[in-house]
Structure 1
Amino acid sequence: MAREQTEVRELDEGSYVMMDDAPCKINSYSTAKPGKHGSAKARIEGKGVFDGKKRSLSQPVDAKVWVPIIERKQGQVVNVESADVAQVMDLDTYETITMKVPGDLTLSADDDIEYLEYEDQRKIVQS
């Protein structure tokens, strides 16, 4: 598994955390003061990196959470199969992968792109 454990207090906006077994990017992070019987609580709002779903998490700041190790990779478009599917060659391994193209991107063959990879999930982030 490409993830590591860290304490909730180590997280901040823009970093990644696992929520409901999905890697999410943190949109907001806030803490409440310690209560009468315990430690401060953190409330984390995030959005799924690969599925776009909004999720939230409320944990004590000293609780351990999993942080996904998401790799940022470079690729080149080999072939555009349709408006939302492209074949991309990884520029390190020369492996060819079929990926979904985000709706706001228009790609053509030979475009250089950047994509995120976590386990067997991939997402094009820019061209």
Structure 2
Amino acid sequence: MSKKVVEVKTLKVGKYVILDGEASKITSISTSSPGKHGSAKARVEALGIFDNQKRSIVKPVDTKIDIPIIDKRTGQVLALMGSDVQLMDLETYETFEVPIPDDLRDSLLEGVEVEYILAMGNKKLMRTKG
């Protein structure tokens, strides 16, 4: 599992964070001002990359939090198999299967190059190239 540790105050909208053991994309961050007896707190809301679930946490801005290391790669479609697609990585020539997202169902053809992400042992098809 590849991850880094950063402080909550360095997070930005559109970046990734690990919440409940899932890699998630940050949708909003709001911070409260420090009170008389406490430190400033940040509320981070995120959407899971692989399961599309909303998650949120509230933590002091100076606490540490894990962020996933996301690897963006290129692959080629080998075969369409119902709701899955078989891809071949263009660097390692490894073949694997991933589910087809609904928005890419019409644009996938055999031989097309696609971009996918690899995070925390999971793979997800993102977009077609070209």
Short-chain TM bin: over 0.9
Tell me how far apart the structure 1 counterparts of residues 120 and 12 of structure 2 sit (CA, whole Å): 23
d(CA) in 1 for partners of 2:36, 2:19 = 27
Partner Cα separation in structure 2 for residue 34 and residue 92 of structure 1: 49
The amino acid of 2:63's aligned partner reads: A
Following TM superposition, by how much is the alpha carbon of 1:119 offset from its aligned partner in structure 2, in angstroms? 2.8
The residue number in structure 2 matching 1:27 is 27
Shift of 1:118: 1.1
How far the C-alpha of 1:91 sits from its partner, in A, is: 0.7
Query: Which residue of structure 2 aligns with residue 40 of structure 1?
Result: 40
**TM-score, length basis structure 1:** 0.96
Structure 2 CA distance for aligned equivalents of residues 92 and 4 of structure 1: 25
Q: Secondary structure at the match of 1:104?
A: helix
CA RMSD, aligned part only? 0.8
For residues 31-63 of structure 1, give each alpha carbon's deviation from its aligned partner in whole angstroms, at most 9, with x where no partner exists: 000012121000111000111000001100001
Is 1:54 equivalent to 2:60 in the alignment?
A: no
Runs of 4+ with deviation above 6 angstroms: none
Distance in structure 2 (CA, Å) of the matches to 1:30 and 1:119: 27
- For 1:46, the aligned partner's letter is A
Question: Aligned residue for 1:102?
Answer: 101
1:68 equivalenced with 2:68 (yes/no): yes
Aligned amino acid, residue 98 of structure 2: M
Separation in 2 of the partners of 1:35 and 1:60? Answer: 12
1:24 maps to amino acid: S
Query: Aligned with 2:102: secondary structure?
Result: coil
Residue identity matched to 1:47: L
% identity of equivalent residues: 44
- The letter of the residue matching 2:123 is R
Segments of 5+ residues of structure 1 without an aligned counterpart are none
Deviation (angstroms), 1:98: 0.5
Q: Normalization by structure 2: what TM-score?
A: 0.94
Consecutive unaligned residues in structure 2, runs of 5 or more? none
Deviations 1:41-86 (A, max 9, x none): 001110001110000011000010000001111000001011x210
Aligned length: 126
